[in-house]
Structure 1
Amino acid sequence: MALCVLVLLVAGFLLWRLQRNATDHQQDIDASLPPETYCGPVILVIGDTAPLFGELKHRETRLGWYLNVRQPAELPALVERLAQQYPALLPQLSVMLAIIPGQHTSADVLVQQQGGWLRAVSECRVVLKGLPPLCAVIWGSSVDERTHWFSYTPDHSQFQFHPENDARLSLAEWVTRDPLHFHHALRLQSLMQWYAGQFAASHTASPCQIGVCLTPVPSLPGNLWQQHAVGLTTLSPENYASPPSLPLPDVLLSVMPQRQGISRWLLTARRVGMMLGLFLALAMLASFIHNQRLVRSVADHLALWRSLPEDAIAAKMLARDALIHDRSLLDAWQRSGEPLRFGMGLYQGMRLSAPVNTAIHRWSPPPAPAPVVQQVVQGPQTVRLDSLSLFESGKAALRAGSDKVLINALVGIKARPGWLIVVAGHTDSTGNPRLNQALSLQRAGAVRDWMRDTGDVPESCFAVQGYGQDRPVATNESAEGRALNRRVEISLVPQADACRVPDAHTRSSQDDGHSQSEKE
């Protein structure tokens, strides 16, 4: 999720930057630039552009979009602007070097100008990541009013003639069609000699195509073409005082780049897609690693369980508990869905459930041994009575209403053979210790007498003891502690010869319940 948010933030930032750059450069966008959706070749025309464009910044034809570049310094800036605003047009971009010999009178100046233009083309290497396709086109004077286009490419051994509608013809084939074409061929050969002699060897970038247009060309007096023609034939070519607009080389655009590049939005979408793809790859890698860890963990538990012998009960149970824990996790994930870290279609838990369940059900711990039942001999039972609830302070006679307290407290104290009923009296530390001992003995005797008379229990079933203040159960420093120490305790103590009832007609209510008539 964090990576997803990061990708969205980066994508939003890139879109904002693109929009801001488009806004910042909106005022600089020239109306002469083609739209980004333009599909044809985009030609940057350099060199002798004035006879081709006049005052126009661009010319659009059916087959191409021509941009007028007047100065060498404008070429790298225009290419960079196109790369920023219309990157989709870069694959369609090419450079056309226009050469019109009739517009120049000095060969040195022309060579110097051509060198400046070629250096400007080389400066576009960084922006375009290589040199753009270069085409050199020469406009020479024709012997008639018609326009003839020729081209020379490295894949053809000779010039090709380009009619407007028909297929291209070789120069030799074209010359045989009309006697006048022989004069054009001579003019073409002479023009190429001039081109090679002037500056063809100085081109640092080899043109992908050389085009020649034989058409009426506006010429200056004493231009380079006239100088060349006079040197060959001593004849002066015709001059045109009012220069017409020269034709553009649409018929030569077949070798120019025709493919369409990637727009800014498509490029941004590609970057976002790459980021999302990277995130997906990382997520799948993380899911694969987590699933492999799960498989290794369960496999280790299964291997440990299988390696333990059957008689290693404790270790076997620990290994089985680990498998049970694994099964509970796998079952929970099967019901509610696996965690995200195991997702992306790589979850391996389904194939782990079967071997884990098989291992768990194949072995179970042996049953625990039956517990040994031992007969427990009941020890002494002790009933503790509060002295103040039975006696007045310092008195040994039972107070009125104490019968109810004694009856409720002594329900579990029954006389039976082999058990001695011990009645012990206790006091707190207040007063004379000798008097306290005597008082505790008298109170124990009073309780013994009540039990004897009320339950018709023989005298032999009782033992009376008076401990005074010698056996406290709490501290005598507080009123609560002293109240606990003032007590009478009645206990059943095993004694073999205790409570032996002689054969007599009188039987205790604690006997086994047989009547006198049954005895007789």
Structure 2
Amino acid sequence: MRRVIKLFLVLLTLLLALWLIWGFLPLGNDSRIFLSLFCLVLAVAWGWRYRREARTEQQPIDEKSLPPEQFAGAVVLVCGASDRLFPAGQAFRETRQGWYIAVSQPEELERLADSFAAARPALIARLSILLAVIPEQWQDADAFNQQLLRWQRAIANSRQAFSGLPPIWCSVWLNAIQDPTENGCCWYSLTHNHESLQVQDNAAVAQAYISWCQQRGAETELPRLSSSLWLQALFSWLNSRVLEVLAIRNHDTPALRPCMLAICTTPVSAVADNLWQQHIAAVTTLPVRPDSQNVPTLPLPDALLAHLPHRHGVSVAMQSWRLAGLLIGIFLLLAMLASWINNQRLIQNVSDHLAIYQRLTGTPAGPKVQAQKQLQRDAGLLDGWQRDGVPIRYSLGLYQGMRLIAPLRASINDWAPPQPVPVINKIVQGPTTLRLDSLSLFDSGKSALKSGSEKVLINALVGIKAKPGWLIVVSGHTDNTGNALLNQTLSIQRAAAVRDWMLSTSDVSESCFAVQGHGASRPIATNDTAAGRALNRRVEISLVPQADACQAAETLPASGVDAGITPSKEN
């Protein structure tokens, strides 16, 4: 179930990120594609790492030993001498007041803390750590001290899983100094909410130690005195052997200060020459209860659970809903910020278009017409949003497009482009350039007009008339077949032949003509094909404006490859 929740949260995060990128952020398509791929890579990397950790992590604790998530009592992790409080093979004990979980070794505490925090986060506020101490089962003081330091380090390492140290309390189980036949259970406790020592005898109501002594009667003066001395010696041993050791900071291990001390006098299995006997023998002459064997399971401190501090916890489902709500809240915050930026950019763009339009005078009209068309596009966009609804990328950030419609319409309507003046097209009589096929006028390689060419020239030259200030230029062209110099000469001769025919059939002055030969230097098509070479073999007649045309004949440069113009008459 926890894996499903984590997967759901990751997918929710990915979905919100993609929605933010493509629906709100003012980015280009390239940036959006890059960020989308980056988010997908992060999601895949998380999934790979999560799967790898799931394969390599230690076997989680059996959740049957954990209390149900709706458990209303106290949860106690019993460290230290926990094997004496639980029957053999039993990992937990449930009572009316609490749920006790056995932690047999310090190394197991951190793993149990991680599993408990992941499976029952709502019960962390009800959890406490009990350090169980049975001094009559220890003979070596150094070994006991080392074991205590190991538990201190393990408890300190569990604070990361519990987001801090939970309440820590210490309890001592010890044989009483009374008659061995008396098997009653008596609890002595020092708690944070009571200044004096409290006593709870045989599950009775807890009361102050002084009141409890007074109620036992005058005939028990000596036992009360012995009990007081016994308790004083016990607290002295507990302070020197346990509390002072836990209060010392060791490297990265913080000092531990229990919030409650408890002493239970009950039959306990004891070893010979144990730590408690050594202490009693050294400081008092009080009798020590003989060693006992085959003692049943020790009583649990249910009566003291009410003195532990409690807080309200948060369940896994509630934590997931809170995290989902946090993700949605962050998404909405970023979406509103991006929407506000989009609105500011919209206002800035429309304002820039209005400023450009108003700066233009309309002379010439073209730039202002373009600016007016841009304003019309802006107005159409805003009108469409007003009619169909504003896009969500603008609506979350104080959309202000409504107030832009009025100035846009006013600016569009305050100017109209001038009406174009109708243009009357002038009809030009005849072409300014006439192109004639050389094969229709000359035989191959010849420059004399062949029979029947006059008809072609007459039909083609209809409308070609010389005007004052216009020069009739006759140009000859060939393909690239053959010698270039011969082609140059042939092109000039063919142009001169056409010019001579025009002089003989009209009254146009000889000074109105100019003859040019270009050979194969100005092709209009490729010479690689027969059709292209046929197009290149041509004679062109052009009317060129010239101020002194059709005046007195002038001597033109000699014909040749460089000049390309012949005299006005060819011999």
Same fold, judged at TM 0.5 (above): yes
Tell me if 1:44 matches 2:95.
no
Specify the alignment match of 1:225 in structure 2.
276
Specify the alignment match of 1:152 in structure 2.
190
Pair 1:470–1:29, CA change in 2 (3 A): farther
Specify the alignment match of 2:301 in structure 1.
249
2-structure distance, mates of 1:24, 1:109: 32
Could you give the per-residue CA deviations for residues 484-514 of structure 1, whole angstroms, max 9, x where no partner exists? xxxxxxxxxxxxxxxxxxxxxxxxxxxxxxx
Which shows bigger deviation, 85-94 or 311-320? 311-320
Note the residue ranges of structure 1 that are not aligned, 5 or more in a row: 381-428, 438-466, 472-477, 479-520
Specify the alignment match of 1:215 in structure 2.
266
Specify the alignment match of 1:110 in structure 2.
144
Task: Give secondary structure in 2 for the equivalent of 1:233.
Answer: coil
Task: Give secondary structure in 2 for the equivalent of 1:247.
Answer: coil
Task: Give secondary structure in 1 for the equivalent of 2:393.
Answer: helix
CA contact (8 A) 2:196 2:209 kept: yes
1-structure distance, mates of 2:87, 2:428: 131
Report deviation, 1:118.
2.1
CA contact (8 A) 2:337 2:397 kept: no
Report deviation, 1:72.
2.5
Tell me if 1:82 matches 2:116.
yes
Report deviation, 1:98.
0.8
Tell me if 1:140 matches 2:160.
no
Specify the alignment match of 1:285 in structure 2.
337
1-structure distance, mates of 2:55, 2:319: 15
Pair 1:210–1:304, CA change in 2 (3 A): same
CA contact (8 A) 1:40 1:63 kept: yes
Mapping of residues 298-447 of structure 1, within 5 Å: 298-304=350-356, 319-344=371-396, 346-361=398-413, 363-365=414-416
CA contact (8 A) 2:191 2:307 kept: no
Residue from 102, 118, 127 that aligns with 1:93:
127
Residue from 26, 34, 55 that aligns with 2:67:
34
Report deviation, 1:257.
5.5
Specify the alignment match of 2:463 in structure 1.
none
TM, length-normalised to structure 1: 0.60
Amino acid aligned to 1:119: R
1-structure distance, mates of 2:186, 2:72: 27
Report deviation, 1:193.
1.8
CA contact (8 A) 1:93 1:257 kept: no
Report deviation, 1:102.
2.8
Could you give the per-residue CA deviations for residues 401-428 of structure 1, whole angstroms, max 9, x where no partner exists? xxxxxxxxxxxxxxxxxxxxxxxxxxxx
Task: Give secondary structure in 1 for the equivalent of 2:97.
Answer: coil
Could you give the per-residue CA deviations for residues 440-472 of structure 1, whole angstroms, max 9, x where no partner exists? xxxxxxxxxxxxxxxxxxxxxxxxxxx9x959x
TM, length-normalised to structure 2: 0.55
Could you give the per-residue CA deviations for residues 213-263 of structure 1, whole angstroms, max 9, x where no partner exists? 233434344433344444413423355434132211122223546446555
Larger CA Rg, structure 1 vs 2: 1
Amino acid aligned to 1:235: P
Tell me if 1:57 matches 2:100.
no
Pair 1:60–1:21, CA change in 2 (3 A): farther
Amino acid aligned to 2:238: Y
Q: Aligned residues: percent identity?
A: 36
Specify the alignment match of 2:158 in structure 1.
124
Query: Number of residues paired by the alignment?
Result: 393
Tell me if 1:67 matches 2:110.
no
Specify the alignment match of 1:387 in structure 2.
none
Task: Give secondary structure in 1 for the equivalent of 2:77.
Answer: strand
1-structure distance, mates of 2:55, 2:200: 41
2-structure distance, mates of 1:158, 1:29: 41
CA contact (8 A) 2:369 2:417 kept: no
Specify the alignment match of 2:231 in structure 1.
188
1-structure distance, mates of 2:94, 2:109: 19
Report deviation, 1:431.
5.8
RMSD: 4.8
